[in-house]
């Protein structure tokens, strides 16, 4: 991979306020660009807001559509890559929790949440693809919130060549510190076991549909060490440099890089 400076945003995203939520993104995009970031990641469903109630369907759109076109314009104007989330409706009438990868050149791809949490199953369908995205000299994967609890998904992405896995969340309840303590039980393991960078961020505040989110973001290095973290009760942003040298230090070490010694034939 190449060195990259990333920004991870903690944003408030009321359900159904699509235009207002897009407007809320713009100051963070400008601030990230001013601080030299090449890529900015927003939380799960930050554009449409997060809800497991059928009301979220009212905000869902196809891709491409009005939401994705506004994100394309934002990325092109700011000259930055944007990872942003929305409720997506496909041509068959199914709904997905989706995250877009939008570059100044257009939409680079879409990730559909693969592991839909039990309360979400009445609304969202499972995605079926495990895509990786080649952009800015890196290969990145995306997992949305509940996805992060499944070790095999992170390993699949790492085996396929992921350097960074972005994990946008819409994880409600608890204090910011309690949520961070919870994340540290599994997110550090995803980084350490697979020798990848992990970047996670959450929504914050009330969604105006009965949920309140603790604000936090964290960046974890490929040795499982926390590079930077932030807990807050309001919106915020982390800006962090992810260095190719740190990744190479792990992957060039025969005792610290585990993936080449996997025996997948035993796991069937």
User: What is the reported pLDDT for 124?
Assistant: 98
User: What is the reported pLDDT for 2?
Assistant: 96
- Mean pLDDT for 202-219 is 96
Q: How many CB atoms lie within 10 A of CB 102?
A: 25
User: What is the reported pLDDT for 268?
Assistant: 83
The pair phi, psi for residue 216, each rounded to 5°, is: -165, 155
* Interval 3-50: pLDDT, tens: 999 999 999 999 999 999 999 999 999 999 999 999 999 999 999 999
Above 90 in pLDDT, residue 242? yes
User: What is the reported pLDDT for 179?
Assistant: 98
Domain ranges of the chain: 4-261
User: What is the reported pLDDT for 166?
Assistant: 99
> What's the rounded Cα separation, in Å, for the pair 49 and 244?
34
- Mean pLDDT for 141-170 is 98
- Mean pLDDT for 98-123 is 97
Above 90 in pLDDT, residue 170? yes
pTM as predicted: 0.97
- Mean pLDDT for 106-122 is 97
- Mean pLDDT for 131-156 is 98
Query: 4-261, which class in CATH?
Result: alpha beta
> What's the rounded Cα separation, in Å, for the pair 202 and 214?
7
- Mean pLDDT for 144-157 is 98
């Amino acid at each position: 991979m190449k060195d990259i400076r990333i920004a991870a945003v903690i944003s408030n995203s009321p359900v159904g306020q699509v235009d207002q939520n897009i407007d809320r993104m713009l100051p963070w995009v400008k601030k990230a660009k001013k601080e030299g970031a090449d890529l900015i990641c927003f939380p799960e469903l930050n554009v449409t807001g997060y809800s497991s109630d059928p009301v979220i369907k009212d905000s869902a759109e196809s891709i491409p559509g009005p939401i994705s076109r506004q994100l394309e314009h934002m990325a092109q104007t700011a000259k930055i890559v944007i990872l942003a989330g929305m409720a997506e409706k496909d041509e068959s009438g199914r709904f997905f929790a989706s995250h877009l990868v939008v570059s100044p050149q257009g939409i680079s791809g879409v990730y559909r949440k693969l592991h839909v949490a039990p309360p979400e199953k009445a609304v969202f369908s499972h995605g079926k693809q495990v895509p990786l995205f080649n952009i800015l000299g890196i290969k990145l994967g995306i997992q949305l919130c509940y996805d992060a609890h499944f070790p095999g998904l992170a390993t699949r992405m790492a085996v396929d060549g992921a350097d960074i896995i972005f994990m946008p969340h819409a994880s409600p309840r608890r204090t910011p510190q309690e949520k961070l303590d919870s994340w540290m039980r599994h997110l550090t393991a995803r980084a350490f076991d697979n020798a990848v960078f992990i970047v996670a961020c959450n929504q914050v505040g009330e969604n105006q549909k009965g949920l309140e989110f603790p604000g936090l973001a964290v960046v974890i290095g490929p040795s499982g060490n926390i590079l930077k973290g932030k807990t807050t009760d309001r919106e915020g942003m982390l800006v962090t440099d992810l260095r190719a040298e740190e990744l190479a230090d792990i992957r060039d070490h025969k005792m610290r890089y585990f993936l080449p010694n996997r025996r997948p034939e035993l796991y069937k």
